[in-house]
Structure 1
């Protein structure tokens, strides 16, 4: 083909390409890329725990005759959970009542004798010594009756302590006992969790320096991400881990000690971020269009984590771009 024909063909090709480019959507040039600080997150598992966990214990040894709660029940402070009966207390009360009847009979007899002696003393037949002895006997019998009443109150209090009461308002977490069992004083009947629920974390100690009370924490739940607050860091390191508590508004109490995925902020670093819409994917590779001297150029990039920013979703570019590049994104 003659050179003139080749020249005309290349010119026509350039015109066609220019016309096609004019039909494409307009492109907007973003500001030059520059490193921005991003937060590094550490994924750990936390456990849902009750702030206060107290055992409801038997105060009396005996037979557990009734048990009115089960795991998962809601209880109020002071509510009767179970009842323990010691049959010996009933026999002791019967013995005390019998002693009381005998003492009252003796007291009545002593008062009758005292009345007779006082009548004889008034007529000069008896002596004052005999009257004083009978009066002392009446006082002694009255004292023994008072002691008997106090003994009965002690036994009644022991019987009343057979009722197992809820130590606080909350959720019944565990009931290790069963009706009909023989229990000892101090044995656990039920475990109650109350005072609210929180997440307890065990964080590797190398990240302890980056954690501060009040830091925002992201919790990955079944209903989507939730945000919590780092409420407390415990100074004692256990097995190379720092124990921390996280407060989460509206934390589910359905499963106590369930494991929940938590993301902790453990540091900051600088990274190059581009809008997620500026990244295209073809044949398993990611591309970002940047402005060049002769026009837009696609560059192959390696992307990292996704970040949320005020301008929308952003992705981190690990390689393929450098500070100062201008990312070109197509307007939808």
Structure 2
């Protein structure tokens, strides 16, 4: 007699999963392996590598005091000039004619003055002898005073005409180097229009271009190290003395000037330089960017309690972002354990185990 096979009952899948869950004790989750870093407060520096050039501390624009046509321009850019050296000349035709006319008027006024003074002397003598009236003496005195005034005016006009002729010659106001030439022979220029620019001999300064950022004023009085781009010559020290108030629209940078330290000979004008500056920005906790998550729309990080080894989400204030790290200014205590990798798998209270702790 054959035995019957035992009857098998198929249970629904949901019931089976529930029974399996009951077979394991609650709270026996496997700790998540994460990489941890320790947060330490340290000084924060903003590193800059800037470019610029060596320029004169004082550049003097020079031009004619009067307008006219340039007939000679005797210097080129880069020429060394001495104080009083002739740089350029205007066409002197009109100025010379004006001088001749003023000289003739001055001579005529001097002759009239001499005649009036002689008439006054005769009138005074005749009045003293009783041969002339007081009215005649007064008239002679008035005529002499008028002649004196006319002669003074003629002399002033003569001096002005002489100055006009002298102004047709442009001379160097100081010794230096010609750095710019804004006109050419044959060109008509106006009074005081810049024709040449001269860099005075002596002081030199470094001009650097810095990206605009909120802490730009910290550059003032900062010492920077300068090196020529071509590597020729020793490094130089400069102290920042001036920060331009406006941002250059074309480049978005701010011009910063630095005074070269005395003692070492400065590079030549126009030398391209680079400068290295480490600007202190206070203290913060530098952490790798991989720690960063969000909480309520703001920056946050996962921390781990050393005693329980459980994860906790903390909101932080980030003072600076870089391409490799973030600087946390608030929200973390000194020595806090922060999850650097594996944060995307965490939730509050999740048990973790460290795979590597980076000091």
Alignment of 1:1-332 (within 5 A): 41-114=47-120, 117=123, 121=127, 124-194=130-200, 195-206=202-213, 208=216, 211=219, 213-222=221-230, 223=232, 226-232=235-241, 234=243, 236=245, 238=247, 240-248=252-260, 249-253=264-268, 256=270, 258-266=271-279
Q: Per-residue displacement from partner, 1:231-255 (whole Å, max 9, x unpaired)? A: 235163515534323445433215x
Partner-residue secondary structure (3-state), 1:188: coil
- On the 8 A contact 1:78/1:166 being kept in 2, the answer is yes
Give the deviation of 1:72 after TM superposition. Answer: 0.8
- On the 8 A contact 1:85/1:159 being kept in 2, the answer is no
Give the deviation of 1:51 after TM superposition. Answer: 1.7
- Cα RMSD (Å): 3.8
Give the deviation of 1:173 after TM superposition. Answer: 0.5
Partner-residue secondary structure (3-state), 1:139: helix
Give the deviation of 1:187 after TM superposition. Answer: 1.3
Give the deviation of 1:69 after TM superposition. Answer: 1.9
- On the 8 A contact 2:77/2:179 being kept in 1, the answer is yes
- Select the structure that is richer in strand: 1
Give the deviation of 1:185 after TM superposition. Answer: 0.4
Q: Per-residue displacement from partner, 1:105-144 (whole Å, max 9, x unpaired)? A: 4344445545555565566554332233223222321221
Give the deviation of 1:67 after TM superposition. Answer: 2.6
Give the Cα–Cα distance (whole angstroms) in 2 for the partners of residues 213 and 135 of structure 1.
71
- On the 8 A contact 1:218/1:226 being kept in 2, the answer is yes
Residues 132, 47 of structure 1: CA spacing in aligned structure 2 closer, same or farther, 3 A cutoff?
A: same
Partner-residue secondary structure (3-state), 2:267: coil
Residues 105, 48 of structure 1: CA spacing in aligned structure 2 closer, same or farther, 3 A cutoff?
A: closer
TM-score by length of 2: 0.54
Aligned length: 238
Give the Cα–Cα distance (whole angstroms) in 1 for the partners of residues 242 and 81 of structure 2.
30
Q: Per-residue displacement from partner, 1:14-35 (whole Å, max 9, x unpaired)? A: xxxxxxxxxxxxxxxxxxxxxx
Q: Per-residue displacement from partner, 1:162-219 (whole Å, max 9, x unpaired)? A: 3323344321111222234322101111111235333222222357487563434252
- On the 8 A contact 1:59/1:186 being kept in 2, the answer is yes
Give the deviation of 1:147 after TM superposition. Answer: 2.0
Give the Cα–Cα distance (whole angstroms) in 1 for the partners of residues 45 and 120 of structure 2.
96
Q: Per-residue displacement from partner, 1:245-281 (whole Å, max 9, x unpaired)? A: 3445433215x2x5433333246999xxxxxxxxxxx
Give the deviation of 1:155 after TM superposition. Answer: 2.0
- On the 8 A contact 1:200/1:243 being kept in 2, the answer is yes
Residues 167, 126 of structure 1: CA spacing in aligned structure 2 closer, same or farther, 3 A cutoff?
A: closer
Give the Cα–Cα distance (whole angstroms) in 1 for the partners of residues 122 and 280 of structure 2.
99
Give the Cα–Cα distance (whole angstroms) in 2 for the partners of residues 40 and 107 of structure 1.
80
- Deviating more after overlay: 79-88 vs 54-63: 79-88
Unaligned runs of 5+ in 2: 1-41, 286-356
TM-score by length of 1: 0.58
Give the deviation of 1:228 after TM superposition. Answer: 2.3
Q: Per-residue displacement from partner, 1:76-109 (whole Å, max 9, x unpaired)? A: 3444322334433322322223223333443444
Residues 263, 103 of structure 1: CA spacing in aligned structure 2 closer, same or farther, 3 A cutoff?
A: closer
